[in-house]
Amino acid sequence: MKRTAVLAVRILFLLSLSLVFLPACGGNAVGGSAPGIIWNPTSTAGAGGGTPGPAGVLWNDPNSGSTSGFSPFIPSSDNITYSIPVVYIADNIHPLSTATSAPVIIQAEGGFAGAINGYRSRALNGNNGGLGGGGFGGGNFTQTPPNAFLQGNGGLTMNARANCKHWALYHAGPMAATNPEGDALAGRLAKTGITAPGAVEIVLSGPAYPDFTAASNYINANFGAIVTDLQWTHFGTGYWTGGSETYYWSVIFARNPQP
């Protein structure tokens, strides 16, 4: 009886030591990651397929955000990402289509669209070295094309905006034609359910383009032939601020996009 009591006390003492010396679990660390990181950056490609990146890797760490630059909070909703509603790249939350009503975004995009459309319509009306020509009966009148003033398209706008947000929040450095996931415009449009016989995107980023005037002036001066191409019927403009480049702009031109 006395031996049993001593043994019970000894077991209780050992349990007390275990409680004291067992290390406490901290944060949301997984697989050895630092506290607060909920994905291990050394994880392998997720299931579900996707668009291969430059190195053929189908998974991109969703926490690989820009490590420098100003990143203000801007309310928005990412309707489509690389993992929602279809898993193209597992656990990748980078946006493909973004909706927002934030004035800082809406006003910049509206001014950007107006400046580009204004340049296009003036050029195609025969001003600024536009179409010109003899016009009717050899006179000085030029027939204005019916699509001189492009129609805005919501799907294209949300694509252009998402591309700007994507680079600002998740990837340091200037925007490029192909994103780090390996997608150019065609891949991004397909993933958001938009089809078009022809489409092209012009992207621009950096501190030198703080407003829509500076951005549109650069695009109109350097890509005027694309801006005034008669095949385009619709366009969408996108903008975001933050990240290493501070200001991000995109304009997508398309011919008869659906839907």
Lowest pLDDT segment from 14-23, 134-143, 217-226, 249-258:
14-23
Structure token pair of residue 27:
């944060």
Any domain includes 59: no
Whole-model pTM over 0.85: no
Confidence (pLDDT) at 75: 96
Q: Give the residue numbers spanning the domain of 155.
A: 98-255
Backbone angles phi, psi at 98, to 5 degrees: -130, 130
Any domain includes 53: no
Calculate mean pLDDT across residues 98-123.
Answer: 97
Any domain includes 34: no
Confidence (pLDDT) at 127: 55
Total domains in the fold of the chain: 1
Any domain includes 167: yes
Structure token pair of residue 41:
């950056």
Provide the residue count of the chain. 259
CATH number for the domain including 190?
A: 3.40.33.10
For the chain, give the percent of residues with pLDDT over 70. 67
SS (H, E, C) 174-238: CCCCCCCCCCCHHHHHHHCCCECCEEEEEEEECCCCCCHHHHHHHHHHHCHHHHCCCCCCEEEEE
